[in-house]
Amino acid sequence: MSFIVVPVARALLGAVVSVSLGAPSLFGQQAQPLEFKSDTLKQGDIASGQTSLLGIRKRGMEVFATPFTKNVGYGDGPVNAADPTSPGGRPTLQNNSKFLRVNGLDAQTCMECHSIVSNLTVPFTFGLGGVGGSNANAMAKPTTIDVADTQHNGFAAFNGRFINPPFLFGSGGVELLAKEMTEDLQTLKARAMRQPGVTVPLVTKGVNFGTIQFVGGSLDTSGVRGVDPDLVVRPFGRKGQFANVRAFDVSAMQFHFGMQPVEAVGFGVDADGDGVVNEISEGDLSALSIFLTTMDRPRRTTESTAATNGEGRFHSLGCAACHMPALETRSPILTYSFPEVETDPTQNVYYSTDLRAARPGFQANGVGGIEVPLFSDLKRHDMGSGLAESTGSDLDRYFITARLWGVADTAPYLHDGRAHTLEEAILLHGGEAQPVRDAFAALTDSAQQELVAFLMTLRTPVAPAGDLMPPQPGDRRLGQLR
Ligand code: HEC
Ligand code: HEC
């Protein structure tokens, strides 16, 4: 196997530069095979501060956008007949030996699924870290797909997950909020343990996660709401399963590509039996997660009168109870830990970034932290049977409140992309949101349109990693962003 190190970086970064300078054509360059090379940036060089943040982010972009191939560990070894859904041995479609599509092995780069910055233009505005259309939905871990509808109920029985890719913009602010909320909840848990029999309310940043109590020598978590019983706030994944971007990335590498991170399988270990070891290094994952958490955040455009009225209705109807417009942090600094101790994110810190920097560009809140205008409470809610998944898990009806920042640009909506329009997305709310949904449905058409006009002021960033990747020429977005 031969690695072509320098041309990889040059081909990728060279391509970017040529776009930004308006150079004649990408195709005018000498074509080079693009092959991923792991561990070109060592964890030690990131931790020691030897590599600049820009250098780290560039490497992260490479990890995000260089196609993985069988030479570097794409895919798994022999099929695992005992568990065809496990990364580490899956069948492929029609013996094509590359893609399965229904259980991972569904793309070659992260970017393929996370690449639409806005779909309000024709053609789409493409860019790193954006959403995916329905074609990019992940279909995770089904063992039954009854397309023949043998139950004759109008839908194919399916016991996996069918999920639409969200964008990764502003994820640094989300991760910092979650870390601080986790710290608060752990402190409240410690308080409960010091005061046996006392019911302690679990409130952090204005979000109510129920109560906890220490009785008979053990913690009673039956009153905990919208967060796991370990009181770790996990904002990533539509179910809220991942505490930080890195944890998600580790799992995405294995699920989508069969690329095995050293930190998941061990150094020198060929866990998927494909003949390749050390497929993704610690440094690769650090660079990837630093790149993603420093992407620009979504912005708001200036509002029309209709949008201002709509914003009022967003509050008066009760949307803001879940879609909380902004949460604030105590610190502007996002720390990165490896390995991360989820219940104590202050341990094992190896790097940090200032979220007020040009990217991601969060605004200081005046009291030492930043404002994260995410339109979410980072809490899980029961959304009713209509939106429920069918995996058999207790969490089938539950989703973490979708962050509405950027929502103007990110159709299709809801976890599986079933809603083509914002009205549809709102009308499909059920469960805990049923009364608010009904109040929206009862509005006059024009009042509904005002609420939608407000949502249309919530835009994705124009150039999410603009210093690495310039805005696309097709981007015709107008309006003052703030
Ligand atoms: C086949 C399409 C696909 C590919 C390829 C893909 N993703 Fe995703 N990504 C998704 C979907 C779908 C979700 C939503 C997952 C969920 O809700 O559990 C997601 C969610 C995420 C999230 C959480 C975002 C949030 O706000 O909750 C991160 C981070 C992420 N992906 C990173 C990556 C990285 C890094 C790679 C490459 C290693 C990658 N993804 C490859 C489809 C994809
Ligand atoms: C009980 C909490 C709750 C309330 C109240 C609520 N929502 Fe939601 N909202 C959610 C959750 C959870 C999701 C994600 C559901 C899914 O993905 O299937 C969501 C999704 C959305 C989406 C789709 C976002 C996307 O990117 O896919 C929109 C738009 C939205 N809500 C708008 C509203 C509006 C407007 C109101 C008020 C009329 C409202 N919501 C009230 C919890 C709530």
| Interatomic CA distance for residues 462 and 408, integer angstroms | 13
Question: The tokens 């996990």 sit on which residue?
Answer: 234
How many CB atoms lie under 10 A from the CB of residue 252?
A: 21
pTM tops 0.85, yes or no: yes
CA distance 381 to 383: 6
CA–CA separation, 100 and 88 (whole Å): 13
Contact 112 CB / ligand 1 (< 6 Å): yes
Measured in angstroms, how far is the CA atom of residue 425 from the centroid of ligand 2? 7
Distance 219 CA to ligand 1 centre (A): 34
CA 406 to ligand 1 centroid distance, Å: 17
Contact 42, 57 (CB under 8 A): no
Q: What is the pLDDT of residue 474?
A: 59
Residue 468 Cα to ligand 2 middle (Å): 33
Q: Counting ligands in written order, which one lies closest to the CA of residue 383?
A: 2
213 CA to middle of ligand 1, Å?
Answer: 36
In the structure, what pLDDT confidence band is assigned to residue 252 with cuts at 50, 70 and 90? very high
CA of 296 to the centre of ligand 2 (A): 23
Question: What are 441-453's pLDDT values in tens digits?
Answer: 999 999 999 999 9
Ligand 1 mean position to 143 CA, how many Å?
A: 21
Sheet with 200-204: list strands edge to edge: 200-204, 207-215, 218-220
Which pLDDT score is estimated for 478? 45
Strand segments (E) across 66-149: 116-118, 125-126, 138-140, 145-146
According to the model, what pLDDT value does residue 28 have?
A: 64
Using a 6 Å cutoff on CB, does residue 321 contact ligand 2? yes
**From atom 21 of ligand 2, which residue's Cα is the shortest distance away?**
402
> How many whole angstroms from 253 Cα to the centroid of ligand 1?
9
Q: Is the CB–ligand 2 distance for residue 250 below 6 Å?
A: no
Amino acid at 453: A
Candidate ranges 9-13, 76-80, 149-153, 187-191; pick with highest mean pLDDT: 187-191
Res. 14: pLDDT tops 80: no
- Where is 352: in which H helix or E strand? strand 349-354
Cα(216) to centroid(ligand 1), Å: 42
- The mean pLDDT value of the chain amounts to 91
CB of 166 sitting under 6 A from ligand 1: yes
Gyration radius of the chain over CA positions: 23
CA atoms of 104 and 256, how far apart (whole Å):
4
Angle (CA) 158 160 166, round 5°: 120
Does the CB atom of residue 163 touch ligand 1 within 6 A? yes
Nearest-angstrom CA–CA distance, 83 and 301: 49
Which pLDDT score, from 0 to 100, does residue 308 have? 97
Residue 123's pLDDT band (cuts 50, 70, 90): confident
Phi, psi of 223 (to 5 degrees): -95, 0
Asked whether the beta carbons of 195 and 178 are under 8 A apart, the reply is: no
Q: What is the mean pLDDT of residues 330-359?
A: 97
The answer on pLDDT for 80 being more than 90 is no
Mean pLDDT check: name the lowest of 18-32, 260-274, 335-349. Answer: 18-32
Ligand 2 center from residue 61 Cα (angstroms): 31
| Ligand 1 neighbourhood includes 280 CB (under 6 angstroms) | no
What is residue 247's three-state secondary structure?
A: helix
- Quick one: which ligand is closest to 433's CA? 2
310, pLDDT greater than 80: yes
Helix ranges restricted to H, 155-211: 171-194
For residue 476, what pLDDT band results from cuts at 50, 70 and 90? Answer: low
CA distance 163 to 402: 13
Residue 25: band (very low, low, confident or very high) from pLDDT cuts 50, 70, 90:
low
Structure tokens at 198: 């006392």
- Measured from the Cα of 241, ligand 1's closest atom is 18
Contact assessment for residue 139 and residue 161, using Cβ atoms and an 8 Å cutoff: yes
Q: Which residue's CA is the closest to the ligand 2 atom numbered 14?
A: 402
Q: Is the CB of 383 under 6 A from ligand 2?
A: yes
Token pair 């407000």: residue: 454
Closest approach atom of ligand 1 to CA 253? 38
- Residue 248, both tokens: 């998600």
Compute, in angstroms, the gap from residue 399 CA to the centroid of ligand 2: 10
Ligand 2: atom nearest CA of 422 is 29
The amino acid occupying position 278 is N
- Whether 272 and 87 have beta carbons less than 8 Å apart is answered as yes
Q: Higher pLDDT residue, 124 or 29?
A: 124
Ligand 2 lined by 128 (C-beta under 6 Å):
no
Query: Rounded to whole angstroms, how far apart are CA atoms 296 and 280?
Result: 25
Ligand 2 binding pocket includes 318 (Cβ within 6 Å) = yes
Q: How far is CA 163 from CA 18, 97, 237, 465, in A?
A: 35, 24, 10, 25
413 lines ligand 2 (CB under 6 A): yes
H or E segment to which residue 341 belongs: none
pLDDT of residue 20: 40
Q: How confident is the model at residue 97 (pLDDT cuts 50, 70, 90)?
A: confident
Quick check: 160 and 141 in contact, CB under 8 A?
A: yes
Q: How far, in Å, CA of 93 to CA of 115, rounded?
A: 25
Residue 136, ligand 1, Cβ within 6 A: yes
Query: Which spans in 294-414 are helix H?
Result: 305-317, 319-322
Q: What is the DSSP letter of 224?
A: B
Per-residue confidence band for 31, with pLDDT thresholds at 50, 70 and 90: confident
Q: Which numbered atom of ligand 2 lies nearest the CA of 451?
A: 35
- Which amino acid appears at position 99 of this protein? F
pLDDT of residue 29: 66
Is 236 near ligand 1, meaning CB less than 6 Å away? yes
| Model confidence at 173: pLDDT above 60 | yes
pLDDT of residue 219 exceeding 50:
yes
> 188 in ligand 2 pocket by Cβ < 6 Å?
no
The pLDDT assigned to 79 comes to 87
What residue type is 72 in one-letter code?
V
